[in-house]
Structure 1
Amino acid sequence: MARGRRTLAAIFAVVTLASGCASPDEPTPPAASAPSGAFPVTVGGVTLGERPDRIVSLSPTATEVLFAIGAGPQVVAVDDQSDYPSGVPVTDLSGFQPNAEAISAQSPDLVVIANDINGIVKALTTLRIPVYLAPAATSLDDAFRQWRELGTLTGHPADALVTQVGTEIDKLVADLPQRAEPLTYYYELGPELYSATSTTFVGALLGRAGLTNVADPADANAAAGGYPQLNQEFLVKANPDLIFLADVTCCAQSAATVAARPGWDTMTAVRTKQIVALDDDVASRWGPRVVDLVRAVTDAVAKVPA
């Protein structure tokens, strides 16, 4: 799975330029709303005459959402990167190299994907298979919209999940101590020093914690699509107060490997040991576990003396 996680990080940094290990402790998902049964429905360009009973998910985020809203029993196959919650019907289907014939062999009445790679939407549509495209969310509201649309398409309203997650995030942010000056941070997608600016989904989430992103000036004109590749000199000069590592599992990065980088021992985050290891998967998805990401961030921020 490490190779897949590295690929997912590259999707954030590389695919965006051209136009992201399950947690050991799995929280109990919120109680799902009862199926609405309101069909036919049309959402996101997809029309379903009846509730889908054979769903194929080629998006780890969508897989998490489907199970969180109670549509898990309808999911018959997921891609090789979907690893949460435990027990999902993992197959060798790929969201990075989707194969229409292999997908069709699952006899799906709904396919959910995150990227229209190699014309897969057209290929599946030609086979009369409904496809819902749920690309990487650009904001929390955008993620919530996708959850609600998946709820409508599956007959399991997602309003309760949206409310629960939104409320938890609001509380985590509200409980942070007030500071005279905002803390700065560097968010690492990979040891190649790709990062995410405040214009991205994850950057916006961290911004809610009152943090200033040191990567923002590196993509001021949005040429990198919010995912610039930084360099050692830039980061040493930026001197962030906090470093968040989203490349722990994929790339074996840690506080020790960061501290060993040339010149990084002068950084405030390194000297004060404010290097935060994140769960790679949680950090790269926009499903219900965004709460875990925000909690990891707010916990780290709260530990820095005001």
Structure 2
Amino acid sequence: MRLVTSFSIAMFSLALPLICLLLIGCDKSATNSSTSDNSVQINEIEIPANYPLTVTDELQREVKIVTPPQRIVSLSPSNTETLFVLGLEDRIVGVTHLCDYPPAALEKEKVGDFNANSISMERIISMKPDLVISGGGFHQDVISNLTRLNVTVLAVEPKQFDQIYARIELLGKVCDVEPKATELVESLKKRVAVVRKRSIEIKPDPPIKVFYQIWNDPISTTGNVSFIGEMLQTVQVNNVFSDLNTGYAPITEEALLVKNPELFLIPMYHGGEEDVEQILSRPAWQGIDAIKNKRIAFLPDDEVSRHGPRFVEGLEAIFHACYPEATLD
């Protein structure tokens, strides 16, 4: 992952009193309102009757939203994608360098990378956001610092299908686009249902034994209690490491030999088709059925790793990798 150097702690500490002083005149409460010249004025928008509202975020924090946010900073690619699908692109004033989809996200101002250490607090403050949408625990320091500066932060970090649906609904509620959010969720649920139904109809008995490679050094995979694990269960395959007690974990080559999967699923961030021969030629893997039969499928990495609206495209890609002759019609 790329790293963007953040301002030093010492410099931030020196600037903090000045920043706080500037913010006192703009917002004396932990709300999402702002009265600076460059922000959207409250009296310029019609405040819906259901505002202010209070919602609970990923970290079980109660977050008060005074008006529908008009200046949003998004700190994770999946949340940025959700905002765009909900038609909120004009309200987004800042994103991270990893927010690269849709292409229009690349044109937004950047506040750093995804990891907390790279995010520039000063850059965020300069954008005068009335809402910052962060990730969960890995953004805890950013959340704490912004909250101390009276910036409204909503932590959103879904990890399962149902949580993705719920967080889309949450963003729809917060941003006053609930009908669009509901429509999106229903569409995603229907596509997931189609994949599940077709997989049940065509799965062999016994199911295909699949190894999903999360990372190659060390070799890592996933159990069933994870986002990827739920995808594998949905397409009705036998995840050979479903017995892992943790979501993601390293494994040994010996364990992989014992499991003897029939199919390897590998996200594209490991490389591409040119790496197939390298994988097939690994001496320790020559006894594995997937290697002997050259059954290796590469998956689109963003779609299978980002917990946003495109996860269903990742699910469909896994379906086609497992059942290459089948359709979802």
Common fold, TM-score beyond 0.5?
A: yes
Q: TM-score with structure 1 length normalisation?
A: 0.81
Q: Does 1:209 find its partner at 2:235?
A: yes
Whole-Å separation in 2 of the counterparts to 1:4 and 1:161: 31
Identity %: 26
Of 193, 206, 211, 1:181 maps to 206
Q: Which residue of the partner structure matches residue 91 of structure 1?
A: 110
Q: Does 1:74 find its partner at 2:86?
A: no
Of 148, 157, 172, 1:151 maps to 172
In the alignment, structure 1 segments of 5+ residues that lack a partner are: 6-34
- 8 Å CA contact 2:303–2:314 kept in 1: the answer is yes
Q: Does 1:191 find its partner at 2:208?
A: no
Aligned positions of 1:13-28 closer than 5 A: none
- 8 Å CA contact 1:191–1:251 kept in 2: the answer is no
Whole-Å separation in 2 of the counterparts to 1:298 and 1:100: 42
- 8 Å CA contact 2:223–2:247 kept in 1: the answer is yes
- 8 Å CA contact 1:42–1:48 kept in 2: the answer is yes
Paired AA for residue 195 in structure 1: T
Paired AA for residue 263 in structure 1: A
- 8 Å CA contact 1:41–1:152 kept in 2: the answer is no
Q: Which moved more, 1:207-216 or 1:162-171?
A: 207-216
Whole-Å separation in 1 of the counterparts to 2:306 and 2:162: 14
Whole-Å separation in 2 of the counterparts to 1:4 and 1:270: 32
- 8 Å CA contact 2:229–2:242 kept in 1: the answer is no
1:162-205 deviation digits (Å, cap 9, x = unpaired): 10011011112212304221112111121121112110011112
1:112-157 deviation digits (Å, cap 9, x = unpaired): 111343621111111111111112x332001111111111111112
Whole-Å separation in 2 of the counterparts to 1:64 and 1:181: 37
Whole-Å separation in 2 of the counterparts to 1:270 and 1:130: 51
Higher relative contact order (CA 8 A, sep 6+): 1
Whole-Å separation in 2 of the counterparts to 1:68 and 1:119: 28
Q: Does 1:55 find its partner at 2:72?
A: yes
Please report the RMSD computed on the Cα atoms of aligned residues, expressed in angstroms: 2.2
Kindly state the Cα deviation for residue 286 of structure 1 after the two structures are TM-superposed.
1.0
Alignment length (residue pairs): 267
1:181-235 deviation digits (Å, cap 9, x = unpaired): 1112111121121112110011112111111212233x3xx3xx31110111111
Q: TM-score with structure 2 length normalisation?
A: 0.76
- 8 Å CA contact 1:215–1:228 kept in 2: the answer is no
Structure showing greater Rg = 2
Q: Which moved more, 1:160-169 or 1:236-245?
A: 236-245
Q: What SS does the aligned partner of 1:245 have?
A: strand
